[in-house]
Amino acid sequence: MLTTEQIIGRLEAAAEDGDSEVVDDIYDLAQKQLVAEDMHGAKLDARATSLFGAVGFSMTVAFSFGGWALLDHAYKVPFGRGIAVAFVLALGVGLVASWHALQGLMLRSGQKSVDEEDVFHAGVVAKGKKRVDFRIHLATHFWLVFQARYARNESRAETIRLGQNWFMGFLVAILALSGATTVSAILRPPDPLTAAPCLCAQTPSVAALTSTSSSPHVALPSASISHDQGPPPSSRSLTDGGDGGS
């Protein structure tokens, strides 16, 4: 970029040739460049804010659900420990993306603006000074402010771009971990406690065994009476007694 002495020297050379319109054009251009950099800075603010919100929400979800699901069950599934280590590394990538987004927001403060000391400089706002001298001074000041804002905005844009790249890496890592977790859950051997067959229909219940032991059913033999044996003994005694008396 041009230095202050170079800008002033070229503007004074144009004014000495009697072409003050060039100075006026550069003065107007410097004002337009300031407005353009202000708009560029506002767009960078919006991008940095959106990136910070997206990274913050993604990190919250990853810490809340992914951390509990992976770290708590890492020893229960195949390759669980490796997946847990990869998950911690993915969270580190997300933290780096958050840091870049925060840096993009923090760089808004401290940017150079129009200084009243330079506008009302005693060497320019004085007797004997012409309008072209004042225009040269202001055009130089405006252009230096534009240079400072341009450099700061470019630095912020690079920081936000790096944050976006880190955030994309974080999303790719989370997606890969989701696939690895799914494969690990599929390859997980069945739990013997849940995979054992139910023996309820084959094993008698405790209540059935208790009722059987407390009240046994004894089968009594039934007396079969044959018609060929005649009447029962009591009937024959009565018959014999009756015959003797008669």
How do the pLDDT tens digits run along the chain, 246 residues long? 888 888 888 888 878 766 678 888 888 999 999 999 989 988 998 999 999 999 989 888 887 766 666 666 666 666 767 777 888 888 899 999 999 988 888 766 556 777 777 777 777 777 777 888 888 888 888 999 999 889 988 998 999 999 999 999 999 988 888 787 777 777 766 655 555 555 554 555 544 545 554 545 544 444 444 444 455 555 444 444 444 443
Residue carrying the six token digits 């225009």:
135
pTM: 0.64
Question: How many other CB atoms are there within 10 angstroms of residue 221's CB atom?
Answer: 5
What is the pLDDT, as a whole number, of residue 5?
87
Q: CB–CB of 184/79 below 8 Å? A: yes
Tell me what pLDDT residue 67 has: 62
Q: Do the Cβ atoms of 136 and 12 come closer than 8 Å? A: yes
User: In whole angstroms, how far apart are CA 107 and each of 95, 102, 214?
Assistant: 18, 9, 88
Q: Which class for 167: exposed (0-12), middle (13-18), buried (19 or more C-beta within 10 A)?
A: buried
Q: In 3D, which of 145, 149, 81 has the Cα closest to residue 115? A: 145
∠ at Cα 93 (89, 94), nearest 5°?
115
Per-residue model confidence (pLDDT) at position 61: 83
Provide CB contacts within 8 A for 236, sequence distance 6+. 230
Domain ranges of the chain: 4-186
Per-residue pLDDT at 83: 76
DSSP 77: S
Tell me which residue has tokens 């669980």.
80
Determine contact, residues 157/101, Cβ cutoff 8 Å: no
Q: Report yes or no: 153 and 40 within 8 Å, Cβ to Cβ.
A: yes
The pLDDT value given to residue 204 = 52
